[in-house]
Amino acid sequence: MKTQKQFIDDALSSGTIPGLPQGHFIDGAYSVAASGRVMQSLDPGRAEAFAEFARGDAADVDAAVASARRAFETVWRDTPAAERGRILYRAAELIRENAAGLAVIECLDSGKPIGEAQGDVQGAARAFEYYGGACDKLQGDTFPLGPAYLGYSLHEPVGVAAQIIPWNFPISTAARGIAPALAAGCAVVAKPAEQTPFTALRLAEILTQAGLPAGVCNVVTGTGAEAGAPLAAHGGVDHITFTGSVASGTAVMKAAADNVTRVVLELGGKSPVVVLGDCDREAALGGVMGAIFENAGQICSAGSRLIVERSLHDSFVEELCRRAEKLTLGHGLRNPQLGPVNSAEQLARISGFVGRARERGVEVATGGAETVDPETGKGWFFQPTIVGARDPDDELVQEEIFGPVLTVQIAEDADHALDLANNSQYALVAGVYTANFALAHRMARRLDAGQVYINEYFAGGIEVPFGGNKKSGFGREKGLEGLLSYCRTKGVAARI
């Protein structure tokens, strides 16, 4: 098996990866699109096509859902929980064995630095490991109805679960949805983003190699309009997990409503990082940098709002700018500190926000312009950007930019910081940096967010439930709560 360096060198020299899947993965095998159409996948670091894949539509979705339904009803829901767990454990092992190649695919497809892609692949393996261990612990309750009755509950798999996967974290988002769905006994139809199809396809192949029966996990590729929308509206789907924009999530909800299909939505964010004057300054600086510049800021839970106490503001922002200006940019396979954004459309969106800010006279403390890979002169890059203190109603405070752009707000004290943090249409995550642990936990209770990080942004892992409030969505992924998302609870009461 090739080493990580060999995979990287080959991809850099050839501009592609040999042996990438070109069809859908349906009923345990690859197949061409029903229409015979294909589309291109683009390397963001070069702004060039590097591969083709199947352009699916409603006919392919129909085939995948039918395959999943057969597999669910005839095989998977009655597979013993311990055996489901063994298959998921084997999948985790195979992901780790294939980690070098998967990371290069993820890097070339999404643009993110190879070091970040490696972490995502290991996180995907951990998700299957975690839920593999949970399969035979999914148990119901008994109810004290008195000596003449027996009352108990069952957690049953909901059925066919659709996964609509975003482009910013393709393999890790796929794993955090597919693994608990399979653990609960559901069958899956996944639709990865058209920008990043390949690791989801490889993941389905790996699951089959691990012993997953044919049809239990299917992947249909294509655009959101041609493949994602038919999947969301399909009458054969019992549950939808969607990660993406508010606008697309709203469309998914409307489509699901016609069939009364259950949904879990993880949507946008404009997450605050509260930095109080008594914090560990070095830890806070590192946390804020990672919160906004990891994956070029293209993270739903990115810490895109810095709320800093006035006593610390000047020196803290000055140091952030100094560090941002030293970040290295380049193609993801060369493992820079900041990679490209995913597409020309996303680059134009980021530029639009910063351009409008300049027209309003907003101070851009550092960055603020499109750029390219300094080694090749290619790619979709945006400079790491920090924008000076803004009012709570400013567009840069209220709207999700989804890029390496940090907006600063100034707080007078902890109570003011809390008010600023909660003044948002989004409520996905929040971060707090303070040496006062009691204050941190009081703030955690009052922050309107699905998850709160204290003194380390992005703390936690697959064990911690994740999801949003307000326009950031509803329902929870990860943790045991994520497993219950794929279950329906049945109560049984019997007279003895």
Q: Which two tokens stand for residue 273?
A: 């990082």
Closest residue by Cα to residue 59 from 226, 191, 259: 226
DSSP secondary structure string for all residues of 328-357:
-B--GGG--SB---S-HHHHHHHHHHHHHH
Measured between alpha carbons, how far is 341 from 304 in angstroms, rounded to an integer?
Answer: 16
Cβ–Cβ < 8 Å for 246, 268: yes
Q: Which residues contact 16 (CB under 8 A, 6 or more apart)?
A: 50, 51, 108
How many degrees, rounded to 5, is the angle at CA 494 between CA 489 and CA 495?
160
Work out the number of other CB atoms within 10 angstroms of the CB of residue 237. 25
Q: Which residues contact 405 (CB under 8 A, 6 or more apart)?
A: 292, 297, 304, 350, 353, 354, 367, 382, 385, 386, 387, 396
Secondary structure class of 400 (helix, strand, coil): coil
Active-site residue identified among 107, 186, 217, 300: 300
83 in active site: no
Secondary structure class of 199 (helix, strand, coil): helix
Q: Which two tokens stand for residue 214?
A: 């044919």
Active-site residue identified among 106, 194, 266, 309: 266
Task: Give Rg (Cα) of the chain.
Answer: 23
Per DSSP bridges, beta strands 487-495 and 149-157 are antiparallel
Closest residue by Cα to residue 124 from 154, 88, 155, 150: 88
Per DSSP bridges, beta strands 305-309 and 364-366 are unpaired
Closest residue by Cα to residue 211 from 128, 118, 130: 128
Q: Which residue has tokens 């508010």? A: 246
Q: Which residues contact 322 (CB under 8 A, 6 or more apart)?
A: none
Write the CA distances from 393 to 106, 246, 449, integer angstroms.
Answer: 37, 19, 19
How many degrees, rounded to 5, is the angle at CA 219 between CA 13 and CA 209?
75
φ/ψ of 103, rounded to 5, equals -65, -40
Work out the number of other CB atoms within 10 angstroms of the CB of residue 52. 12
107 in active site: no
Residues designated catalytic: 266, 300
